[in-house]
Amino acid sequence: MSNLFDDLSDKIKKINSFDDFEQLKLSIITDIHKLKQRDIVKDFQLKKYLKDKNIINSLLVKTSSDLHKVIEESRLRADELNILLNTIPAFVFFKDTRYRYVLVNKSFTNFIDLPENEIIGKTLQDLTFSHLLLSKYSMHEKKVLEEGVEAYNITEKLKKDNQTLWLNTNLAPVKNNQHEIIGLVGISWDITSNKIYEAELKKAKIQAEEGTKTKSQFLANMSHEIRTPLNGILGMAQILNDTKLTKKQKDIVNILTTSGENLLVLINDILDFSKIEAGKINFINKDFRLDKPIREIYDILSRRADEKGLLLYIKFDKNIPVYVNGDEYRFKQVVLNLVNNAIKFTEKGHIKISVEQVGLVEGRHKIKVSVEDTGIGIPEAKKKKLFQSFSQLDPSSTKQYEGTGLGLAISKLLTEMMGGEIGVESQAGKGSVFWFTACFKKGTPPEKVDREKTVERHKRFTNRKISVLVVEDNLINQKISSFSLQKAGMEVTLANNGLEAIELFKEQDFDVILMDVQMPVMDGYEATRKIRKIEKSLNTHIPIIALTANAMQGDAEKCLAAGMDNYISKPFKINKLITILNEIVT
């Protein structure tokens, strides 16, 4: 601009005559026009700048106050987040895509025992503290960063200050707005106490299992200890009953026998229940006629029903299979329990046992047995408790209706083991229908046996006087066995222990040996093994039946493993022994 002025001023200075003016007129006018134009532009620019300045200034002021507010708010928010981050009782970290720490929280720095500025920018490998299996852990981080997937519950074991620590870590990828992975965030926490607790739990579990085993053993011993004298009581009562007695004496013996038998049932129930609970019961599945156990129960209980004036009857549905495959004894046990209860809790009317097939599941017959009575019934609220262990409806009823309260609980466990259910429909005062279901595989009828031969063998056995070696240390039991067997027409020789038994076996011929298991000097197992060894050279085989109070699962196997042929638990009924003898000797 100054140049334009200078030019113009020079031109004006040059004007000395009118001619000069004429010559420079156009140039001067052009310059003046240019100056005017520039003036207009400058003037506008100035005004515009002023306007912009005012507008933009106020926008700036307003914006800066807005920004201040936003910054203040975000600072507060950041403070809160910081507090949150540093209060979390876990190690939180954020890493970039090159595995370098970008952010860590206080717990993290405390754990590593390094200030934050010595951690940021470093990788895990850079930090000397680490005793991790780096390769394994790094693999997880690599996967998170490369595939963008979360990794949960990475458990690592590490050593710090000579202590073993366990860390659990969750990792997640961090993405920007364009969904690109820009790093990962991780949270780890010390699970050492959990691990210790876990180990303690394991130990406790083993101890508990051992405890159960001990309990089982204790029960087995108990049963032995109780059954042995009980055997004595019952045996002697049986013998006493066979002598000449007055009516009063006979009544006393009857009460003695009944009480003893009740006690036996009680012991058996408790044993059964603990065996099932300990999972120590194995089902022995065989083909059997489905109606057989029901009819047997009818035979056993119809007299008791008669005595109470109750009508006991059975209804078999046409659709039931003749033969099934299952554990006949356990099936019978459940039915027996239900019918027993029905008789126990019914004062008048009837008890009906119905058997039907309610389904065919994967080729298995689903059999339903219902026991209907006209007894006292069960109130709705108490139905659920019914199948729990040690439960009789009314504690006070125990006096009227004796029992352990285990019957239904045992039945429930057994039906479950047979793939079925148990239940009751009842109205108080109107009677009940107890039912259960059980699933059985299809059974096949046994091959036809040569009836004549059996009869002949039976005759051969029963016609001759059988010589029995009874090995038993308990004097009372010796007496009971002798009496019973002699009464059944057998010849009895007694041995006090295994060693004596072996001597006698060597000297005499016996048809069968009844061997107690627990004896001083030499126990039954040992004696059996020795006898079998002797027999091996002679190529003979004498039937040995274990007489055992150990009714626990496993005892039978132990007896058979020792070389015995069968076993019978004390106190035994003479008829049962004879049946077994028949089976073995024939």
Partner 1 sequence: MKIHSFSAKTYDEFKEKLTGLISLNDFNPTLAFAFVSTSFPLAEIAKEFSKHNIKLFGETSSGELLFNNTESGVFDNSGVFTLLDINTNYFKLKLFKRRNSTSFDFGKQVGNFIVGHFTNPSVIIGASGLDLDGQRFVEGIKEIAGNDLVMFGGLAGDDGKFEETFVFDENTVSNSGATLIVFDNTKIKLTGMATSGWVGLGMNLTITKSDGNVVYTIDNKPALDVYLEYLTINVDDMPAIGLEYPLLIKRKDNIDALRAVTGIDKEKRSLLFAGSVPEGSTVMFSSSPGFEVVESTKSKVLDFADNNPESDLFLLFSCVARHLALGPMVEEEIQLVIDKWNVPIAGFFTYGEIGTNPGKACDFYNQTYTLVSIKEVK
User: Between residues 9 and 57, which has the closer beta carbon with respect to partner 1?
Assistant: 57
Pairing relationship of beta strands 467-471 and 512-516 according to DSSP bridges:
parallel
Closest by CA position to 505, among listed 522, 489, 520: 522
Least Å from the CB of residue 80 to partner 1: 23
Residue whose CB is less far from partner 1, 55 or 284: 55
CB closer to partner 1, 47 vs 576: 47
**Least distance in Å: CB of 56 to partner 1?**
6
Q: Which residue in 4, 12, 32, 70 binds partner 1 (CB under 8 A)?
A: 70
CB 89 within 8 A of CB 111: no
**Distances from the Cα of 88 to the Cαs of 61, 93, 193, in angstroms?**
40, 12, 18
Q: Identify the burial level of 530 via C-beta atoms within 10 angstroms of its C-beta, where 0-12 means exposed, 13-18 middle and 19 or more buried.
A: middle
User: Minimum distance between the CB of residue 177 and partner 1, rounded to whole angstroms?
Assistant: 12
Q: How far is the CB of 119 from partner 1 (least distance, A)?
A: 36
Cα separation values, 89 from 86, 168, 541, Å? 8, 13, 75
Least distance CB 174 / partner 1 (angstroms): 24
Sole residue written with tokens 């700048």: 49
Least distance to partner 1, CB of residue 31, Å: 18
Find, among 368, 306, 316, 373, the residue nearest to 339 by Cα.
373
Nearer to partner 1, 38 or 541 (CB): 38
How far apart are CB 41 and partner 1 at their closest, in Å? 5
Shortest CB 179 distance to partner 1, Å: 16
Instruction: Choose between 150 and 180: whose C-beta lies nearer to partner 1.
Output: 180
Alpha carbon of residue 456 to chain centroid: 53
Within residues 471-500, the interface with partner 1 by CB under 8 A covers none
Q: CA-to-CA distance for 496 and 503, rounded, in angstroms?
A: 11
Question: Which residue number, 63 or 125, has a Cβ lying nearer to partner 1?
Answer: 63
Find residue 316's DSSP bridge partners. Answer: 355
- Closer to partner 1 at the Cβ: 54 or 388? 54
Amino acid at 398: T
Interaction mask 29-68, partner 1, x per CB under 8 A:
--------x--xx--xx-xx---x-xxx-xxx-xx--xx-
Contact 154, 171 (CB under 8 A): yes
Q: How many Cα atoms occupy the beta-carbon half-sphere of 129 within 13 Å?
A: 17
As a whole number of angstroms, the distance between CA 497 and CA 473 comes to 6
Per DSSP, the residues of 517-548 read SS-SSS-HHHHHHHHHHHHHHHT----EEEEE
> Nearest 10 degrees: CA dihedral of 22, 26, 27, 30?
150
Cβ nearer to partner 1, comparing 49 with 329: 49
Cβ proximity to partner 1: between 33 and 250 the closer is: 33
Q: Which is nearer to partner 1, 44 or 197 (CB)?
A: 44
For 234-289, where are the E strands, in sequence order?
286-289
Q: How far is the CB of 33 from partner 1 (least distance, A)?
A: 13
Q: Which of 493, 470, 559, 476 is nearest to 231 (CA)?
A: 476
Whether residue 316 contacts residue 291, with contact meaning beta carbons closer than 8 Å, is answered with: yes
d(CA 321, CA 261): 35
Nearer CB in complex with partner 1: 47/160: 47
Of 59 and 311, the one with the shorter C-beta distance to partner 1 is 59
CB of 74 to partner 1, least distance (A): 13
- Is residue 477 within 8 Å of residue 570, measured between CB atoms? yes
Binding-site size for partner 1 (CB under 8 A) equals 19
Residue keyed to tokens 């299979």:
321
Nearer to partner 1, 54 or 579 (CB): 54
Q: Whole-number minimum distance, CB 67 to partner 1, in Å?
A: 7
Q: Tell me how far, at minimum, the Cβ of 163 lies from partner 1, in Å.
A: 53
User: Rounded to the nearest whole angstrom, what is the least distance from the CB of residue 83 to partner 1 in the complex?
Assistant: 28
Q: From start to end of 176-257, where are the E strands?
A: 181-190
Q: Whole-angstrom Cα distance, residue 573 to residue 568? A: 9
Question: Toward partner 1, which CB reaches closer, 37 or 258?
Answer: 37
Does residue 157 contact residue 194 with C-beta atoms inside 8 Å? Answer: no
Least distance to partner 1 from the beta carbon of 4, Å? 17
* CA dist., res. 423 & res. 386, Å (int): 9
Q: Which residue has the tokens 């004894």?
A: 329
DSSP state of 550: -
Residues at the site binding partner 1, with contacts judged by CB under 8 A = 37, 40-41, 44-45, 47-48, 52, 54-56, 58-60, 62-63, 66-67, 70
